[in-house]
Amino acid sequence: MTSQPPAPMYRTPYPFSTRLFYATKLYLIKFVIKIFLRVVNLPGIRKKEHQPTFTKVYPVQPSLRHRVFFPKTYKSGDVLLPLYLNLHGGGFALFEPVADDEFCADFCNKNNVLVISLNYPLAPANRYPKPVYALVDVVEAVLEDESLPIDRKKVTIGGSSAGANLSLACIQDPTLQGKIGGLVALYPPCDMSTSTSVAMASRPANAGKDMLESGADMFNWGFFTDDQNLKDPQLSPKYADRTKLPPKLYIVGCDFDLLCKGSEIMAKKFASVGHGKRTGTHDCWEQNGVKWERVIGEEHAFDRVLGSGEVKARRLKIRTELYASVAEFSFREVYV
């Protein structure tokens, strides 16, 4: 779909006191999470089966170390493997690839796929578009890496939350056009021009509290500056040209998440390009290479923030089904 770009839109600058509060809070959270990740990654704490096969740095972005997962059954000389590139979430400012080790290791071994958990520079020290440019460099380096047994005709990129947004952003770069067959976006922020209050109003009446409500504006402050056009398609992929995205898209929203409605609108926009008929249900459908799924009754990042007791058991079941669906979609639509 090629159309005229929307009129630019900019946020109202925050007063100094608000900027100071956001900066103090965000850097404090970053510090705590950094310590937490160091502790849980100590030998004997993190499960051995979730560790990557090795880590790797590419000269094009020497400050970024990536985690590479080979299937345990893989032997040198085996057939080339499909590739899944994973981008972690964290509001563009938090966490590291190690946070997604469990997902990457399990997805790799259950599906015989080579998984690389990509690192990217974090906000607020690295505001948009720096992380996007860095990821373009890294993805290109991975695809050109002859030491990896990759079937370059079978490549999917994906991520959760901020990682989903950055997947949708970097893939629009001319350098990567035609090189990625599929994209998986789990509960992505896809329209920075929609205010938190408007997004909150789009949720079901029984949704309860939203984990993003109190932090969304802080993360947005950290990720982009006041003079940034909020409708830039690489910042807000809802405005992207469908032809600049991979031919196969799997977009997932969480029913009680303030980001869900925006993700659904984006999915419908991309699915409208073409003449195929929609198949499926109201909450899970496919059309013109796009699959949309709404996870009923769940919150943002439910698959990572599991809770306890019955809630944990329910979320683990849904998570298992969702990840299996991601694999099924990838093998049916991309790894063919």
Residue 252 near residue 185 (C-beta atoms within 8 A): yes
pLDDT digits (tens, 9 = 90+) for 168-193: 999 999 999 999 999 999 999 999 99
* Each residue's pLDDT tens digit, 207-235: 999 999 999 999 999 999 999 999 999 99
* CATH number of the domain encompassing residue 145: 3.40.50.1820
Q: Mutual orientation of helices 130-143 and 162-170 as an angle, nearest 10°? A: 70
Instruction: Give buried/exposed letters for 258-276 (b at 16+ CB in 10 A, else e).
Output: bbbbbbbbbbebbbebeee
Under the banding of pLDDT at 50, 70 and 90, the label for residue 41 is confident
pLDDT of residue 298: 97
What pLDDT, on a 0 to 100 scale, did the predictor assign at position 45? 80
Mean pLDDT of the chain: 96
pLDDT band at 244 (very low <50, low <70, confident <90, very high): very high
Q: What is the pLDDT of residues 279-297, one digit of tens each?
A: 999 999 999 999 999 999 9
Q: Does the structure show a pLDDT above 90 at 4?
A: no
For residue 164, is pLDDT > 70?
yes
Provide the domain limits for residue 230.
16-334
The answer to whether residue 8 sits within a structural domain is no
Is residue 7, in this structure, part of any structural domain at all? Answer: no
Q: Supply the pLDDT for residue 3.
A: 66
**Does the pLDDT value for residue 159 go beyond 60?**
yes
Burial of 29 (0-12, 13-18, 19+ CB in 10 A): middle
Q: Is the pLDDT of residue 1 over 50?
A: no
| pLDDT of the residue at 304 | 94
pLDDT value at 251 more than 90: yes
Q: Taking the model in full, what pTM does it have?
A: 0.96
Q: What is the pLDDT of residue 2?
A: 52
User: Structurally, how many domains does the chain consist of?
Assistant: 1
- What average pLDDT does this structure show over 133-161? 98
d(CA 232, CA 11): 13
Q: Give the pLDDT of residue 40.
A: 83
Q: Name residues whose C-beta falls within 8 Å of residue 249's C-beta, 6 or more positions apart in sequence.
A: 182, 183, 185, 267, 270, 289, 290, 291
**Residues 251 and 289: beta-carbon distance below 8 Å:** no
| DSSP codes, 226-286 | TTS-TT-TTTSGGG--GGGS-SEEEEEEETT-TTHHHHHHHHHHHHTSSSPPPEE-SSEEE
User: Is 4 within a domain?
Assistant: no
Residue 6 lies in a domain: no
Structure tokens at 281: 């249900």
Query: Is pLDDT larger for residue 87 or for residue 40?
Result: 87
| CB-based contacts of 223, cutoff 8 Å, min separation 6 | 91, 92, 93, 123, 124, 127, 128
Q: Across residues 57-74, what is the average pLDDT?
A: 98
Q: Is the pLDDT of residue 332 over 60?
A: yes
Rounded mean pLDDT, 116-134: 98
Beta strands 182-186 and 150-160: pairing type? parallel
Q: Cα–Cα–Cα angle for 136, 95, 37, nearest 5°?
A: 135
What is the three-class DSSP state of 80? Answer: coil
Q: Are 275 and 234 in contact (CB under 8 A)?
A: no
Structure-token match 């998984």, residue found = 115
Mean pLDDT, residues 258-278 taken together:
97
1 domain-assigned: no
Tell me whether residue 10 is in a domain: no
Q: What are the backbone dihedrals phi and psi of residue 146, each rounded to the nearest 5 degrees, phi first?
A: -70, -10
Residue at 30 is within a domain: yes
- Report DSSP letters for 158-195, one per residue: EEETHHHHHHHHHTTSGGGTTT--EEEEES----TTS-
